[in-house]
Amino acid sequence: MKSLIVYSSQTGNTLKLAKVIYDELKGKKEMFSIDEAPSPEGFDLVAVGFWFQGGKPDPKAVAYLSKCSKPSRAFLFSTHGAAKDSAHVKSAMDYAVGLTNGGAIAGMFTCQGEVNPKVLEKVPVPALAAGF
């Protein structure tokens, strides 16, 4: 099996997940920052990692996910500041799946990570208490 791991990381959290996925995958594999990522064509599995911006995957991930359509199998992973089971996370992941234009989704993983302090300065205190 030939796998490609692509990640977009702002604080380093998504990069950490990408490294774990890379280490655990068997067979031929390649890993790239989203800025240097090749086309997903020709890979059996494409793992795409991203962070959330405005309730969606970050803009670079949005552009890349739209390239991950049939016949690629995609594994989506994300880091975010919201509670793992929140509507915010579900909505963002549903949006990410929709970007794959019907591509086969092999699985998904999300986890809370460090939030950029500049973002926290802009979020009202009641929203933080509610987990976004």
Task: State the total domains in the chain.
Answer: 1
- Closest to 105 in 3D by CA, of 79, 78, 77, 75: 75
User: Residue 15's domain spans which residues?
Assistant: 2-129
What is the CATH number for 111?
Answer: 3.40.50.360
Q: Residue 7: its pLDDT value, please? A: 98
pTM: 0.84
Please write the tens of the pLDDT for every residue from 25-84: 999 999 999 999 999 999 999 999 999 988 899 999 999 999 887 667 999 999 988 777
